Amino acid sequence: MNGVVIIDKPAGKTSHDVVSAVKRILGVKKAGHTGTLDPMATGVLPVCLNEATKLAGFLTADSKEYRAIMLLGVKTDTQDTEGKITGQSDKVVTPDEIKAALAGMVGKIKQVPPAYSAVKYCGEPLYKWARRGVMLDATPREVEIQSIIVEDISFPRVTFSVVCSKGTYIRTLCADIGELLGCGACLCGLRRLRSGYFSEDMAVSLDNMSGADKKGELAAKILPMAKLLPLLTAIEIEDSFVDRLRDGFQPSVEAMKAHVLPFLETGDMVKFISRSGCLVALAEMIAPVSNFPEIDEKCQAAKIVRVFNSVQN
């Protein structure tokens, strides 16, 4: 049982709780998620199963989309309403000021990860240090806010949707907007609508299902590995090539020229698919296809970065 199942994470559960539940229900040996959602958050949580856990690092790199509710006039130590209030303001700001502040966040910005986050310091997450009373100053990180759309302003709450790069903290985005407005703010509701290719219409809830029905529904929703990373060029290969890749062969120019290839540049990622539809390997091109006629056919054309077992059902 290999692939990815998209869970609609409920509020109040950690991402680890959800992974453990999926692992138990399906009886798989290995499982992992592709990006933590805070306990208060709901929505899209992709869970990789068995061989698909090798893909987790590639799936986390994609952009995310959220619907957030921001509470103006309240600051907390966790930057959301689950934390201790550290400041309050009755300052009233106009809808135009709110929209301008949100619009000003679009683009590449620097964020300081919140004290209560999974970012590690000396091998331990910041939230563990914070719970011991040690509030550390994390190093600012560059993230990208690709778009923000204001959906509703019902003061003191503002609902907006945001598309952003991996590693973006929506809690911190709200806190920073509050500082810009001069009234403070925190996050009071969050739902992830999309994580890369995975959207909420693919998600299955763990609620209101009994044992056998729950396992059957989850199993039916598993996305096969060959369908993941849909933006990568797929190269179908014959069985003899499959065996060579699984034995450690690094694709040569000669081997690659035997297949119909699109225009690929150095650094492009490709996926090798068997004729039976199984994902065999991921590779990074180390020579552009346009240069193949000028390169010794024995030279390496691509570097294998992941190889997958033959059993994928």
Task: Determine if the peptide bond prior to 156 is cis (ω within 30°).
Answer: yes
* CA pseudo-torsion sign 19, 20, 26, 30: positive
Q: 92 and 140 in contact (C-beta within 8 Å)?
A: no
Q: ∠ CA 137-169-154 to the nearest 5 degrees?
A: 120
Q: 232 and 225 in contact (C-beta within 8 Å)?
A: no
Residue of 37, 35, 38, 9 whose CA lies nearest to 21? 9
Q: 38, 62, 80, 176: which is the annotated catalytic residue?
A: 38
Q: 19 and 1 in contact (C-beta within 8 Å)?
A: no
What is the rounded distance in angstroms from the CA atom of residue 136 to the CA atom of residue 116?
A: 10
The residue with tokens 């619907």 is: 67
What is the rounded distance in angstroms from the CA atom of residue 245 to the CA atom of residue 239?
A: 10
Residue of 115, 107, 190 whose CA lies nearest to 142? 107
The token pair at 202 is 């693919």
User: 115's torsion region: left (phi>0), alpha (psi -120 to 50) or beta?
Assistant: alpha
Neighbours of 181 (CB within 10 A): 21
207 noted as active-site residue:
no
150: β partners = 160
Catalogue the active-site residues: 38
